Amino acid sequence: MVAPAVVILLVVAFYPIVATMWLSLHRMILVFHEEQFIGLGNYAFLLSDPRFWSALRNTAYFAAVAVAIELVLGLGFALLLNAAFPGRSLLRASILIPWAIPTVVSAKLWAWLFNPEYGLLTRMLPGQDVNWLGMPGYAMHAAILVDVWKTTPFVALLLLAGLQTIPQDIYKAAQVDGAGTLRQFFSITLPLLRNTIVVTLIFRTLDASRVFDAVYVLTEGGPANTTETLSIYAYKTLMRVGDFGYGSTLSVVTFLCVMGISLGYLKVLGVERGKGRA
């Protein structure tokens, strides 16, 4: 029964990847019915394409900042939810609401909150002249804020699951030995949570590196492509321009970046074999 599963996996997972790689070696523009094998020509162009480098920078910045904030906030929430207090199960359920709302819906909702004329967020700020989605610098951070709002609950949930696997006896023993809360956190919680944190980091970084929907709905990559991520650039090239060759090249490079990140994590943070596999 393993063999059919392998075949299905080959067809579903590998065929599109291989096909995209093959396409990326072509100059292929739908409108002109052009299809010409150009080897690594697209990749050579990519290296000298400033728009690619800016998209790469944007993606890296978005992923790094968003994931860092999510991890810190998520850990805070997880510790909070792990403590016993009345109404805990209600809070545990309600914290998941942002995660449950479809991204496009929540992005649209935030776009209204950011609206420079009517948006609640703009109204609350003094001066009222902050145009979140139209000003360079601000737009990217607005997108990060939306991502943090949406995925912190997910991070919290993953970390909470990890926290609950830590035996309470260890804490009791530590208390007997006179370790304070802070010491317990750094000497027990963090080391024992290490694998969970690595898995969470991988999950979130991969997700954030191919971010598309939230940013696209908020800004479509504007102003002046300052929020254009690799996925948005690839999408525009493929679907709006109809340049399947270069669009595929961008997709392949995104894929390679994502793969590189996950390998890097595994190498640097080193999940113990067999223990922390996602």
Partner 1 sequence: MSQSVIRLLTLALLVCISVSCRSGSSASGQNTPEPAKPPGKIRVVFKYQPLGSEPEPLRDLLADFERANPDIEVMTEVLPNASDVVHQYFLTSLEGKSREFDVFIADVVWIPEFARAGWISDISDALPPEVIKRDFLPGAAEAVIVQGKTYGAPWYVDAGLLYYRTDLVPRAPKTYEELIEFAKAARAKDPSLYGYVWQGRQYEGLVCNAYEALWGHGGKTMDNTRVLVDTKEGRAAMSYMRRLFTEGISPPSVTSAGEEDARHVFQQGRAVFMRNWPYCWGEAQKDGSPIKGKVGITTLPTVDGSPGHGALGGWQLALNANTPSWRREAALKLMTYLTSLQSGVKLAIAYGRNPSRKAAYQDADLRKSAPFVADLLPVLENAKPRPVTPYYGMLSDVLQSEFSAVVSGIRTPEASLDRAQKLLDHVTQGGS
Q: Which residues bind partner 1 (CB under 8 A)?
A: 1-4, 7-8, 11, 15, 27, 29-33, 41-42, 45, 51, 115-118, 129, 131-136, 219-226, 228, 236, 239-243, 245-246
C-beta of 82 vs 131, nearer to partner 1: 131
C-beta of 16 vs 191, nearer to partner 1: 16
To the nearest whole angstrom, how small is the minimum distance from the Cβ of residue 11 to partner 1? Answer: 5
C-beta of 91 vs 224, nearer to partner 1: 224
To the nearest whole angstrom, how small is the minimum distance from the Cβ of residue 3 to partner 1? Answer: 4
C-beta of 70 vs 228, nearer to partner 1: 228
To the nearest whole angstrom, how small is the minimum distance from the Cβ of residue 177 to partner 1? Answer: 57
Q: 27 - beta bridge partners? A: 36
CA dist 232 → 39, 46, 97, 184 (Å): 24, 15, 26, 44
To the nearest whole angstrom, how small is the minimum distance from the Cβ of residue 269 to partner 1? Answer: 37
Residue 42 CB burial class (10 angstroms; 0-12, 13-18, ≥19):
buried
To the nearest whole angstrom, how small is the minimum distance from the Cβ of residue 211 to partner 1? Answer: 18
C-beta of 98 vs 222, nearer to partner 1: 222
CA angle (239, 244, 245) in 5-degree steps: 150
CA dist 235 → 36, 76, 211, 231, 242 (Å): 21, 36, 11, 6, 9
SS3 label, residue 27:
strand
Closest-CA residue to 226 (of 139, 107, 146, 145): 139
Interhelix angle 190-209/138-163, nearest 10 degrees: 140
Q: How far is CA 68 from the centre of its chain?
A: 11
To the nearest whole angstrom, how small is the minimum distance from the Cβ of residue 236 to partner 1? Answer: 6
- Gap between the Cα atoms of 217 and 205, Å rounded: 20
C-beta of 11 vs 120, nearer to partner 1: 11
